[in-house]
Structure 1
Amino acid sequence: MTTNRGRGARSVDFSEVRERVPLEWFFEAVLGATPKAMSGTIRFPVCPQCGPSSKHSVKVSCKDGKWKCHACPGKGDVVEAAAKHWGLSLKDAALRLVNADQEVMQSYEPPKARPALERDDSALHEVIAKLLAVSQPPTNAALAYFKGRGIGEAIVKEAVKRGLLVVLPHDPELCKKYLVDVAGRDALIASTLWREDAKAPAAAFRPLMFVSKEGKAAEFRIMRLTEPGEHKSLRYGGIHPWAWVNESQDRIMLTEGCLDLLASLAMGTKRSIIGLPGCENWRDDWFAKLKGRDVLTAFDADEAGLAATQKITPVLQKAGASKVDAYELPKDAKDINEQLILQGPHCKLDFFETQESTEPYRDATLSLPGCDQWISLQFGTLKGRHVKLTLGGPKTRNDAALERLVSTLKSGKATVSVANPR
């Protein structure tokens, strides 16, 4: 595989490395990624270039010895994957690969892809349009599910009215019959919603259908707690965002997924919202109309979300956004919806965005669920104002948290007074 030349330099036969080291082995053994067999390809949740996916995403496809990430420009063969992951030159990465345990690699059996399915996008669009046309009011089961997520009935009904949400029958057999009656089995197969060798479409077990802008894609979500290894949602169609036009169209919010979009509304934001189908799944042209607008990103507090925030910020700035901020989740919440569940109905994204009037306040009384339940972004509009804090009784007071709160307000150029209850 390698030979000595000249002054001890080692040459590398890259084609032999590719033959001896299976690409899928590298993803499983080195990156620690679990493979997922898809139609015509094997998918993995980790990219050698941009790292792990957001939750439940398998962004890297592997086929015929080549890999491609659908969230970044990363692509190549096993040598290029190793070079990206280890930060080495192609030659050094190849040399490191051939030092791997050959017996292990010889006994390795790569996962097999499912037979390739050719998706008919026109059939998918037709199925989505038919389901939207007969969309029914949300069921009591759906309302109960959303209530458990902190999202109220009014928001759910408005999402259905806007065509963002379609609620299917929650019983799988009834849902299967409904899908066949509305769209037809042939159309469901052509759209890849139903595998021809399956007893039922996977969507029959995921009765919450979130429809992307312009109805070009849909995500079907389970309406219960998921079992270990079970995917709570499945997306069909290309990469397309969800959108919610709100009271303010000059202030925009980007969320990771449609559930966080609805949770943000429940938390009182007046911003218009773009829901991304995963924090890494977006295109620059989606943000072409954000020139002069105030943009707030609100991705999950995981490695992928933090990386995506850093990646998307300069893109938004280049698009001409007048301001780009990143929402800071409380330390005990992994995403917007979890914050809403943990903190309850008093949880607010931005105190001043929840006010009916957008006129500046010279004096403001700020009532929080607790003096330790806030984020600094809530106070971005308080410069030059006097803030009066009303606290709970002595038994519930946290003096250290209060001190941090007052310090944060003052650092934002606000004056502060504290009203103590008798």
Structure 2
Amino acid sequence: MPELLYDLVFRAQRIVTPDGEVAGCVAVRDGRIAAVLPFDAAVDGEVVDLAADEVLIPGLVDTHVHVNEPGRTEWEGFASATAAAALGGVTTLIDMPLNSIPPTVDVAALETKRDAAREKCHVDVGFWGGAVSGNLADLRPLHDAGVFGFKCFLLHSGVEEFPPLPPGELEPVLRELVACGSRLIVHAEDAESIDRATPPDGSAYARFLASRPRGAENLAIAWLLERARWTGAAVHVLHLSSSDALPMLASARRDGVDVTVETCPHYLTFAAETVPDGATQYKCCPPIREEANRELLWAGLGDGVIDIVVSDHSPCTPELKRLDTGDFGEAWGGIASLQVGLPVVWSGARVRGHTLTEVVGWMATTPARLANLDAKGAIVPGRDADLVVFAPDEATVVDVQRLAHRNPVTPYDGCALTGVVRGTWLRGRRIEVTGTPQGRLLRRGEP
């Protein structure tokens, strides 16, 4: 029988596919997965033999990343963000529409952002559009220009140039997105509830936690679900931190509401009881809640109410974190984690009895499906050869000074984790973050 001709072949005893783990060969031709073959298949092409302790998984898809360029590139930027992504096994990310200047709320701003990203990206990058007060007429042009959906805030976003979507404007936006066939992704916290809560000033984490109560999150999610029910719109709840909301999300889904849900590694890892006072590197909104709440979020992942785990990578400079004063009221809210998300989630998942196949589903396959990235997220013939060699049993300790993030601030510094990314390939080419960037700028609907 003649040998088969491929550009590259990965041979491994463990390959994570949508059907579970298999031993075999993943053959690559012209940047795509050409075939998944038996382990002992005769092949012609460069062969990458994985070690006995390595697993081949698809490149992760992170649909919640704040790159911040242009305008706040000192916070991150496309070069550093995509290098960190590649080193962490992320081969595709979708950039959020705010924290850059200008925000991505019209086509001109989208093109400005694409110009800023061009020739800097080590991984493939797509873009969300923004739905803000007054830009209803810009949504269809942004959709036609290739954004992957639209983000809104139901309260102040933290930056003046990205205002919240007022209650009276949400329903028209949802109806417009139904007409476009697009999804609204929502930062769901109720503004009035937070305005009436304890002010977050000072170094006590308990006081900051009280300033962003679960009720604010629960109320906003309930309010969003009803409007999705009325309009038939597709909505996505960003960074779920309140486990209280899980029953109503499950109920709405049983009723036919098109709602999807994400949570983030920090909500699955940390607990309010152990956040030190003054440790503003832990500040994020909505906040890290109690240990019991964390375990219920894990249960929500296990039973499918929560669909995906994405980073919400939202970095800033050390000065903006106010590490000097430890004042949670003054510090920027956001956690940097893009490079460490896979070992963080795997470390938590394995001790709770979850499999690596499940983790890949939460962090690669399902995010790709929700973003309609049909060429990403799974080791399946015809998809992009975005592949990661992962050593799931290797121990590591996070050293913030060795991360590719632009600024050395993360609550994961010093965390002991299990799992190491040993190599990342984008469309069949190994990513070398010191070399020429090979990532593409993605548009919705393009192959």
Same fold flag (TM > 0.5): no
TM-score by length of 2: 0.25
Larger helix proportion of the pair: 1
TM-score by length of 1: 0.26
Bigger radius of gyration: 1
Q: Name the structure, 1 or 2, with higher relative contact order (CA <8 Å, separation 6+).
A: 2
